[in-house]
Structure 1
């Protein structure tokens, strides 16, 4: 930013230029400035349109993120009901114990929407 003394010096230099220019030169300089103003306005308008389109894209992406954050429902079907009695089966050695076989009571086999089979007691 120019300080006031430098701004006055620039204004004085421009005034001196205008005084030394012919009428045709002043008209030509005015047209050049008008063209430059028009180009800058067009660029500003294009930039504002780009800004609006980016804001719209951001809004759409945030909505997509909200939709994808929602947890899906896990749907399952009962495939089989089981009556578990670990006493009926023979004792296993302690090296490899199946914990599912140690459960007592009624159990259910579920087939989920993710194509997994789950055993629940």
Structure 2
């Protein structure tokens, strides 16, 4: 098997996922594609803590986290900073609140290539001329 091209080389991706197995799988997929992964973290507060020290270019956000927490406050903060993000969930995107229905969404389970493609698309969508 040949090594995949490092399509995310030099890009920084925040991973917010409360399931450890899925979190480390996502981190592994992204790192193999060349990304610098921030996290993974399992809560909104942990994500804020990580973002204080790192410049985030895009994020993968599990919609439903532990203790009835959702990633929506973090999504709002990222949107306010014009940082693109992708929601990840095992639930239907139709269940998303209306303000998020136009956001990128990745269904669980997913394939590695789908993760890379959705991250690349979010980075391209978030690119704007200076």
Give the TM-score category using the shorter length.
under 0.3
Tell me the TM-score normalised to structure 1 length.
0.15
Tell me the TM-score normalised to structure 2 length.
0.15
- Structure number with the higher helix fraction is 1
